[in-house]
């Protein structure tokens, strides 16, 4: 099964476009978990268990695990393995290098860690992406218009025809690099006006949209701009606002509550523009027929 098939399957089954980012900060792990043999693993798996039926994907951020040393890499591998088999895992690693180095990064992400997709920097060009793209069943999500304020420094630079650089990244993603139909883009919710233009260029590519939680992106605008014509293929990510919804013993319950709130808010934004998940339509029709 390809990444896109997994993504659409999880999204439709859970009626969700929500992705939960796993960015474990040891200093913020609840006190009752700190005596566990592996507190980060205990924390992440508790979040996964609490939210798995509310999401379309999970996105562990490699940096938070790498910062823990060799044990952190082992923990990352175990966390990915603990995610239910029908939910895709996006490794947020933002890799970008050439030749044998890129091939080694791809092997580590897909073969060793078992991720279903990875975030990549396209700055080095197509040959640097090729080792990742050759895994036809895995997703390659290219940084296009990122959520940080400094994205304007390079990503907005005008080309000779006046278009910003990020639109050329989108064009190449759609027309030059998507031979295996496994490419997607990363575009921040903090730039909601950009999302419709990216969707117009890339009508079928999945769009990973960070920035709706702690970064303050407008959720409704992000959803409306990112979804395709069927109300799908948008991956709306939230991390800290879910992970740290509570610092107490109810952290998993609080995370579930925040994830449900966001999942439902995304559904509300879809409803405002007349987009409904087909499964939800069927459920509503069946409910009406039983009245």
Q: Which residues are catalytic?
A: 94
Q: Check: CB of residue 13 under 8 Å from CB of residue 127.
A: no
Q: Check: CB of residue 21 under 8 Å from CB of residue 260.
A: no
Q: Which residue has the tokens 């966390």?
A: 79
User: Rounded CA gap, 64 and 60, in Å?
Assistant: 8
Measuring CA to CA, which residue among 204, 207, 167, 173 is closest to residue 189? Answer: 207
User: Rounded CA gap, 205 and 200, in Å?
Assistant: 10
**How is residue 110 annotated by DSSP?**
I
Q: 177 to each of 4, 22, 172, how far by Cα in Å?
A: 16, 28, 6
- Give the length of the chain: 291
Task: List, in sequence order, every residue forming a beta bridge with 207; answer none if it has no partner.
Answer: 185, 234
User: Rounded CA gap, 145 and 252, in Å?
Assistant: 32
Q: Which residue has the tokens 């379309």?
A: 56
Enter the tokens of residue 85: 């088999």
Which DSSP string do the residues of 172-222 spell out, in sequence order?
Answer: HHHHTS-TTS-EEEEE-TT-TTTHHHHHHH-TTS-EEE--SSTT---HHHH
Enter the tokens of residue 134: 């050759």
């Amino acid at each position: 099964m390809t990444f896109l098939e997994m993504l659409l399957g999880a999204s439709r089954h859970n009626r969700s476009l929500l992705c939960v980012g796993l960015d474990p900060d040891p200093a913020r792990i609840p006190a009752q978990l700190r005596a566990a043999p592996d507190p980060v693993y205990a924390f992440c798996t508790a979040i996964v268990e609490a939210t798995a039926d509310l999401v379309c994907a999970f996105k562990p951020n490699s940096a938070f695990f790498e910062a823990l040393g060799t044990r952190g890499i082992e923990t990352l591998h175990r966390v990915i393995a603990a995610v239910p088999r029908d939910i895709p895992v996006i490794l947020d690693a933002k890799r970008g290098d050439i030749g044998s180095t890129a091939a080694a990064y791809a092997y580590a992400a897909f073969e060793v860690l078992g991720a279903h997709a990875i975030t990549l920097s396209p700055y080095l060009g197509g040959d640097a992406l090729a080792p990742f793209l050759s895994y036809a069943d895995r997703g390659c999500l290219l940084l296009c218009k990122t959520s940080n304020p400094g994205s304007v420094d390079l990503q907005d630079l005008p080309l000779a025809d006046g278009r910003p650089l990020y639109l050329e990244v989108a064009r190449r993603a759609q027309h030059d690099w998507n031979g295996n139909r496994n490419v997607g883009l990363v575009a921040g919710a903090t730039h909601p006006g950009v999302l419709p233009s990216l969707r117009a260029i890339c009508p079928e590519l999945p769009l990973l949209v960070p920035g709706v939680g702690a970064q303050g992106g407008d959720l409704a605008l992000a959803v409306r701009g990112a979804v395709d014509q069927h109300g799908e293929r948008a991956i709306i990510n939230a991390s800290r606002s879910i992970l740290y919804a509570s610092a107490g013993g109810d952290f998993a319950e609080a995370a579930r509550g925040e994830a449900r709130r966001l999942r439902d808010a995304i559904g509300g934004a879809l409803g405002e523009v007349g987009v409904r998940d087909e499964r939800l339509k069927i459920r509503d029709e069946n409910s009406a027929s039983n009245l």
